[in-house]
Amino acid sequence: MGATTTTERLLSKEFIILNLIFLSASTVTAIFFQFHRYLSFIGVRDDWSGFIIAADALPALVIQPVLGVLLSGRNARKWLFIGILGMIFALLMYGLAHTVPALIAVRLLQGAGFACLVAAMMVLTVNYIPPKKSGMAFGIISTVRLIPYAFVPPIMGIYFFAPRDFTKALIYGAIPLIFSLLSVALIRPYYSEACQTDSGHPFNVKDLYENIKNPSVLVVLLLNLLLYSGYTTVFFFFEGYSRTVGSNNPGMFFTVATVAMMTIRIFGSAMFDRFSKPHITFICMSGLIICYAALPFTSFSSIFYILALFTGLGWGIVMPVLNALMFEVSYPRFRGLNLNLSLVMVQGGFFVGPFLGGLVYGWLGYSMLFYFCAFLSLISAVFTLLIIDSTNKSPKDIDMSSKEKTI
């Protein structure tokens, strides 16, 4: 069968390569910090800009659920290669897309490529995560994803400040993806029996029904949708807001927030496994309510960057914790599937956030846009309480019951 045998070693060759590929894809995503301003520069109306920004998330809503069922450790490399290739082609096409239909088409292609890349990467990655190190593993994965957000936005503000330079930045972004294509050959097309995450075969309808009967899985999926809807709304519209309050380089807000996110994940990821993950989630969501609601009352001063610090800490903790929570509440053979479903919800947030955010901004302005984000976090906090009350279990108990089911 060709399965690997490592049980406790986390930093395997495959785990490192897959994270480097994810780093390349995340670098491209970070470049789109200036996409809203670029759309205004080429004459796209405000009532279309939100949909165009959100359009790249639409393919994932279809592709990732399908691939989540069909992918296994044996065929995921092929889809990883296809996804990277699709993203490269899309990035090179932005310079030729100047109409709304053309921009939507390129965004859909980019989104389809990213969906294939992430779905395949997650199926491959979970097979190299020892069960007892899930919190640390997802802390590393989410930290790698964040690295570009620490330096790309301010670099865009300094070296690619002019909106016309946006497509040039995308060409630079395609370069690491080309190296990612080559690195796919170094990943073994196997799965880890020791981690017990993948049977190596597609799931059937009975399997899927058994999986969705788990209410904890459904709640965690909803929490991902709400969290990333708020996060992406801030990410894509923050630059426009910052220009109205006199910031010369709004990317520094995300530098501060991202450094906070990375720091807490690097030094605190091991601690995520020591505490109740639903309780951690509730505390972070409650903190984000305050941070989002306070944004309209601040200016670019030391207080503003303190707010960026605490916002980053909230994001930095809750994002990997939700992944680790999904890992724990899922039966081992459904972990790859459910983590891909979580990514579908993340992509759903990348659509819902910019789309609804664009409507809220167009109708009510930036202040109500941030209140909208706070409201999403409030709903998340309420549902986190529901999962605590409904299960009446700690994550450790849930994980143990999952293991018992597989014995």
DSSP string, 104-170: HHHHHHHHHHHHHHHHHHHHHHHTTS-GGGHHHHHHHHHHHHHHHHHHHHHHHHHHS-SGGGHHHHH
pLDDT of 394 over the 50 cut? no
Residue type, 161: F
Question: How high is the pLDDT of residue 305?
Answer: 82
Say if residue 108 is exposed, middle or buried (CB neighbours under 10 Å; 0-12, 13-18, 19+). middle
Q: What is the pLDDT of residues 345-392, one digit of tens each?
A: 888 888 888 888 888 877 877 778 889 999 999 999 988 887 765 544
Among candidate residues 72, 320, 334, 74, the one with its CA nearest the CA of residue 196 = 334
Among candidate residues 268, 30, 315, 257, the one with its CA nearest the CA of residue 152 = 30
Taking each helix axis as running N to C, give the angle between helix 13-31 and helix 100-126, from 0 to 180 degrees, rounded to the nearest 10.
160
Question: How high is the pLDDT of residue 104?
Answer: 93
pTM of the model: 0.71
316 versus 270: the higher-pLDDT residue is: 316
End-to-end alpha carbon distance in the chain: 21
Q: 124, 77 in Cβ contact below 8 A?
A: yes
| Residue corresponding to tokens 């989540």 | 68
Residue 321 CB partners (closer than 8 Å, separation 6+): 135, 272, 277, 280, 281, 284
Distance CA 326, CA 304 (A): 33
**Residue 41: φ, ψ to 5°:** -65, -40
Q: What is the pLDDT of residues 54-94, one digit of tens each?
A: 888 888 788 877 776 777 667 788 888 999 999 999 999 99
Most confident of 135-149, 219-233, 316-330: 219-233
Question: How high is the pLDDT of residue 184?
Answer: 83
Distance CA 389, CA 399 (A): 17
Question: How high is the pLDDT of residue 373?
Answer: 92
Average pLDDT over residues 276-290: 88
* Class of 13-185+206-400 in CATH: mainly alpha
Q: Where does 9-133 have alpha helices with state H?
A: 13-31, 35-41, 46-54, 58-70, 76-93, 100-126
Q: How confident is the model at residue 403 (pLDDT cuts 50, 70, 90)?
A: very low
Q: What is the pLDDT of residues 157-174, one digit of tens each?
A: 666 666 678 888 888 888
Among candidate residues 350, 337, 329, the one with its CA nearest the CA of residue 395 = 329
Q: 405, 331 in Cβ contact below 8 A?
A: yes
Q: 44, 85 in Cβ contact below 8 A?
A: no
The share of the chain scoring above pLDDT 90, in percent, equals 13
Average pLDDT over residues 182-204: 58
Q: What is the pLDDT of residues 195-218, one digit of tens each?
A: 444 444 556 666 667 677 777 788
For the chain, the average pLDDT equals 78
